[in-house]
Amino acid sequence: MSVLRRVLAAFAFAIATATLAGAQSTTPPTSPQGPAPVAAAPSTQPTLVPPHVEVDDEGERNDRPKKRSQRDDLTGWAYASKGLQFRSEGGGLYQYFSLRNQFRFTSEQDDEEWAVNRSRLKFGGHLWSPRVSNFVEIDLKTPRAYHFFVQVKARDWLQVRAGQWKVEFNRERVDSSGDQQLVDRSLVNRDFTLDGQLGVMARGRVLKGRRFDGEYFLGVLAGEGRLALGDGDGVPMVLGRYQWNVFGRSVGFSQSDVEYHPKPAMAIGVAAVSNRGRFTRFSSDGGAQLSGFETGAAGRYDLRQWMVDMALFNRGFSLQTEQHWKHVRDRETAVERRLFGGYVLAGYFPHDRWRAIPAALEFAGRVAYADPDRDAAVPIDREITGGINWYFNQHRNKLNLDVSRLTIQGATHGRVRLQWEISI
């Protein structure tokens, strides 16, 4: 409890310091709900409702509004909402450059650590036309290329991407680590993510504005993880995802209703993947193995996965959930394993109902479980996490505090994390 008290004190001190510094500003942001009050005093609360819509900074189409600056449309070099940018006369060439860092404190099983958890340099935009976009992200801690791709848009219903990126299988993994509602992803992520893959994918939005408005993703991938072209077995990873935009509004890959949706936006997605290769799981480090499986030769493991997810945003409330099924078959030993897991994540900005509560404050919680072997008598891993967030500038500058109760391989312990996410 002494650790939690210290972390809570640090969280409160950081908020108070930033709020006092913000009081020096002469341009108050607008209120996220309703008409502005008459003769309102300048507010130090960040706005949750920016006035524009744009594509997000990891190349995913996102029709949710993003916070913009009036400097975004300036030509030449300028510092704008995404960082340092260059825009040519006429706008044919546009590139932005941004540095993102995560400073994290973790207390878990009597161990305490302060660390720079992530440090990334990003640049992207479009080349000679807005129809030809590009994105590159470099991990400065490794260092290595984390994402790199080019995407060509022929129509809204047909876009083609080539390169390496977190492929669109499940929401939680595609959601940027900087756009998480809690400090980091759930325990489900380890065994079920496909993470980054090299390959080509067709994608697009169909029946826009109609009852079955949706988005599809069809990819042919190397299936060997990051910076791996394949293991020589000649069998690629094949992935398909379809997302139904229930209310006719696209729901991008991001957590928390920081943009504030006055009308509900909801998406239900289904996805499946098939692969034959050396690995039984993937991570940001590339291909890896589930416990009990050894590093295999080319084409040793058959991998099948299915997934259904849902995301909902409305008036400061957000809900996201996933359910996963996974089947692994060792073609040398005929050993098979079935895995099952899922989570539910929810959050709320109480300012929407109680105006006395600061607009920047959000409460969030998550429950998750992962069964590493459905056919064996092994313990199910479980997670219960609660969190408090303070957004200075949406996901680009925020504080996250979460407390967890984790049960891993039958042993239960607690965890406390405090993180500052900042992009410049």
Per-residue pLDDT tens digits for 186-238: 999 999 999 999 999 999 999 998 999 999 999 999 999 887 776 667 689 99
Three-state SS annotation for the chain: CHHHHHHHHHHHHHHHHHHHHHCCCCCCCCCCCCCCCCCCCCCCCCCCCCCEECCCCCCCCCCCEECCCHHHHCCEEEEECCEEEEECCCCCCEEEEEEEEEEEEEEECCEEEEEEEEEEEEEEEECCCCCEEEEEEEECCCCEEEEEEEEEEEECCEEEEEEEEECCCCHHHHCCHHHCCCCCCCCHHHHHCCCEEEEEEEEEEECCCCCCCEEEEEEEECCCCCCCCCCCCCCCEEEEEEEEECCCCCCCCCCCCCCCCCCCEEEEEEEEEEEEECCCEEECCEEECCCCCCCCCCCCEEEEEEEEEEEEEECCEEEEEEEEEEEEEECCCCCEEEEEEEEEEEEECHHHCCCCCCCCEEEEEEEEEEECCCCCCCCCEEEEEEEEEEEEECECEEEEEEEEEEEECCEEEEEEEEEEEEEC
**Domain map (residue ranges) of the chain:** 2-423
Residue range 2-423 forms a domain whose CATH class is mainly beta
Per-residue confidence of the chain (424 residues) as pLDDT tens digits? Answer: 566 666 676 676 667 655 554 444 333 333 333 333 334 344 434 444 333 233 344 444 344 445 556 678 888 899 888 889 999 988 889 999 999 999 999 999 889 999 999 999 999 999 889 999 999 999 999 888 889 999 999 999 999 999 999 999 999 999 999 999 999 999 999 999 999 999 999 999 999 989 999 999 999 999 998 877 766 676 899 999 999 999 999 999 999 999 999 999 999 999 999 999 999 999 988 899 999 899 888 889 999 999 999 999 999 999 999 999 999 999 999 999 999 999 999 999 999 999 999 999 999 999 999 999 999 989 999 999 999 999 999 999 999 999 999 999 999 999 999 999 999 9
* pLDDT recorded at residue 81: 85
